[in-house]
Amino acid sequence: MSNKIESLKLLFKLSKMEIKNNLLTLRMMVLFPILMLFIGGSSWGFSDRNAQLPADVSANTPFEVLFLSSVFVLFSATLGVVLIGFDGISRKKNSGLLAIEFCQPTSRTILGLSQLFGVWLTVALPTIIISLISILLIYKQMDAFPSIGDLMLFIFATSLVLLWYASIQLLVSSVAKDVGSAVTLGVGAWLLFTMIWLLITTVLATILGVDATNMENEQFASFSSKVDMFSPNGLYQLLLEAKLDNISRKLPIWQLSIATFFWTFIPSYFFIWRFNKLHA
């Protein structure tokens, strides 16, 4: 038991060092105002009673505003994880720092987890803080707060999607041979789930005989919800949609729970496995 406690203390200390090192970078100086503009700005704009929104877009409650703002979380915060973590392993490997870390009497699993938590929390903590500020902006506009349950769901889902991206980015960074390939793989993974996934969903629907010409029909909505469980962005949206009454793309809680479990542990497991196999 004492060994486990000491390991947790070491993991906390190393993760704290990683967060500190990541925060004091030019990347973070660029990222923070982007997060503020995207998340805070979208919350303020969508909660404005005079905002001209499309007829099929509802922003009548604080949680609906948070749901609409989640799109901007996917564009800004997940990109932030890419910026912080795409070369997290390859840079250390090429500079020789990884070899020095491996010479220390510390478990590689602890080192890998500290790298993962460091990248994740570097982006997750500012994102959560800005999200809480956004709650105040929404209250200023709508004179209402989201319920505690709604707020916890938003923070929980947002934290998870950033963890998923952190594990993906560090995994591709551990595979990359140099910084150039790390950039290509990291940005490519982000583009796949952020911009290309809808095209993949449409192609699969067409191949399987699902009408993809009208994306509002119930059959395509049901199909896309199942495909989205294989995407971190899609699962993030599905988790938030579970609290909305005017959304037809709802899946059983047990399916969402299984998908969430797999996305939380499988990419992280493969990263730690790959990290233990690295040769510095």
Domain ranges of the chain: 2-277
Please state the pTM of the whole predicted model: 0.93
What is residue 101's three-state secondary structure?
helix
For residue 103, the model assigns a pLDDT of: 80
Instruction: With beta carbons less than 8 A apart as the criterion, state whether 44 and 137 touch.
Output: yes
**CA–CA separation, 187 and 131 (whole Å):** 25
Q: Environment class of residue 4 by beta-carbon count within 10 Å: exposed (0-12), middle (13-18) or buried (19+)?
A: exposed
Q: Which of 178, 153, 137 is nearest to 36 (CA)?
A: 137
Q: Which of 164, 149, 144, 161 is nearest to 243 (CA)?
A: 149
Q: What phi and psi values does residue 143 have, to the nearest 5 degrees? A: 60, 40
For residue 2, the model assigns a pLDDT of: 66
CA atoms within 13 A on the CB side of 236: 29
Residue 200 CA: distances (Å) to CA of 115, 161, 177, 273: 32, 20, 28, 29
For residue 149, the model assigns a pLDDT of: 92
For residue 22, the model assigns a pLDDT of: 87
Residues of the chain with pLDDT under 50: none
Any idea what DSSP says for residue 37?
Answer: I
